[in-house]
Amino acid sequence: MDSSLLSCQIDPARLRSLLGGASGRFTIEALRECGSTSTLLLERARQNATSGSVLIADRQTAGRGRRGRSWWSSAESGLTFSVLWRFTGGVARLAGLSLAVGVAVARALENCGVPGIGLKWPNDILLDGGKLGGILVELDAQPDGMVAVMGIGLNLLLPAAGAEEFLHRPASLSQASSPPPDRHQLLARILLELAVVLDRFAVAGFSVLREEWQAHHVWQERAVRLLNGGLLDREGICLGADSDGALLLRTAAGIERCLSGDLSLRAA
Ligand code: BTN
């Protein structure tokens, strides 16, 4: 596929028209380049940016992933954006938020006709087992409640670097459908699903989305390892997530709750 055909900056006006009646819930800005959409939006959160602020960048020069990793993508290969959302209450109300965002992204991809979408705890988006994208949720406590900046990166094309350079085998939307979904339509669908999911989450928390998340969880009931800093932390049978979004593992010691780490399949 000629990747130059896919290279286009998001047009906020077109995006707004695709959002229809929900466009009033979002304030959209698209940049050719920035360090990181999430870093920029966190700065703006401290300057009173409104809930529903969306920042999209064709290219990030300092894109960030989970656990201090970097996130690489180009205008042609990726869709990278962050969404700011305000919540009332304290940080405990936001347990499981990154998993809830995963549910919204999975719904959006499926509504765009992409088959084979899965989720991997805590916030990888998978396509036929490869990493299609990731979610990075960052929180800031403010006097009137919590602000969440939800950064989402999706591969439209396979990243240029060789697969051996990635911690997880990458996947891209171009593998699933040719041509891949139009990036404006995909982004609009994600924002629409996010609004629905976040409204529900704000009222009832992750527990009401848990069943849908588990249905997408690719390593449910499978033997897994949990790594921390590359070292084996625990291993057991993956029982999915609890109502706070913590991973549940059945280990030799019983059922354990795990709050962070990298999940990998255990060799049979
Ligand atoms: C991960 O899988 O480690 C999470 C990756 C999140 C990447 C996105 S791209 C848009 C936003 N801006 C960033 O700097 N990171 C997130």
DSSP string, the chain: --GGGG-----HHHHHHHHGGGGGG-EEEEEEEES-HHHHHHHHHTTTPPTTEEEEEEEESS-B-GGG-B----TTTEEEEEEEEEESS-GGGGTTHHHHHHHHHHHHHHHTT--SEEEETTTEEEETTEEEEEEEEEEEEETTEEEEEEEEEEESS--SS-GGGSSS-B--HHHHSSSPPPHHHHHHHHHHHHHHHHHHHHHH-GGGTHHHHHHHBTTTTSEEEEEETTEEEEEEEEEEE-TTS-EEEEETTEEEEE-S-EEEEPP-
Band the pLDDT of 94: cuts 50, 70, 90. very high
Q: Kind of pairing, strands 78-87 and 145-155?
A: antiparallel
Catalytic residue IDs: 66, 131, 266
Residue 258 neighbours by CB under 8 Å, 6+ apart:
226, 233, 234, 246, 247, 248, 249
Convert the pLDDT of each residue in 195-237 to its tens digit.
999 999 999 999 999 999 999 999 999 999 998 888 888 999 9
Whole-prediction pTM value?
0.92
How far apart CA 213 and CA 122 sit, in angstroms, is 11
Q: Strand, coil or helix: what is 80?
A: strand
> What per-residue confidence (pLDDT) applies to 61?
93
Give me the chain's average pLDDT, please: 90
Of all protein residues, the one whose alpha carbon is nearest to atom 16 of ligand 1 is 151
| Cα 5 to middle of ligand 1, angstroms | 24
- Between 46 and 75, name the one with better pLDDT: 46
pLDDT greater than 70 at residue 3: no
What average pLDDT does range 52-56 have in this prediction? 98
Pocket residue to mutate for ligand 1, from 33, 38, 66, 127, most atoms within 8 A of Cβ:
38
Residues with CB under 6 A from ligand 1: 36-38, 60, 63-66, 69, 71, 80-82, 124, 134-136, 151-153
Amino acid at 197: V
| Cα 71 to middle of ligand 1, angstroms | 6
Of all protein residues, the one whose alpha carbon is nearest to atom 11 of ligand 1 is 151
Band the pLDDT of 267: cuts 50, 70, 90. low
| Cα 64 to middle of ligand 1, angstroms | 5
Nearest ligand 1 atom, CA 78: 9
> What per-residue confidence (pLDDT) applies to 178?
75
Convert the pLDDT of each residue in 141-200 to its tens digit.
999 999 999 999 999 988 765 444 556 788 999 888 777 788 999 999 999 999 999 999
| Cα 126 to middle of ligand 1, angstroms | 15
Question: Cβ distance 114 to 176 under 8 Å?
Answer: yes
Convert the pLDDT of each residue in 6-45 to its tens digit.
444 799 999 999 999 999 999 999 999 999 999 999 999 9
Pocket residue to mutate for ligand 1, from 136, 150, 167, 262, most atoms within 8 A of Cβ:
136
pLDDT greater than 90 at residue 54: yes
Q: Kind of pairing, strands 247-251 and 78-87?
A: unpaired
What average pLDDT does range 126-136 have in this prediction? 94
| Cα 70 to middle of ligand 1, angstroms | 8
What average pLDDT does range 64-88 have in this prediction? 90
What average pLDDT does range 42-59 have in this prediction? 96
Of all protein residues, the one whose alpha carbon is nearest to atom 7 of ligand 1 is 153
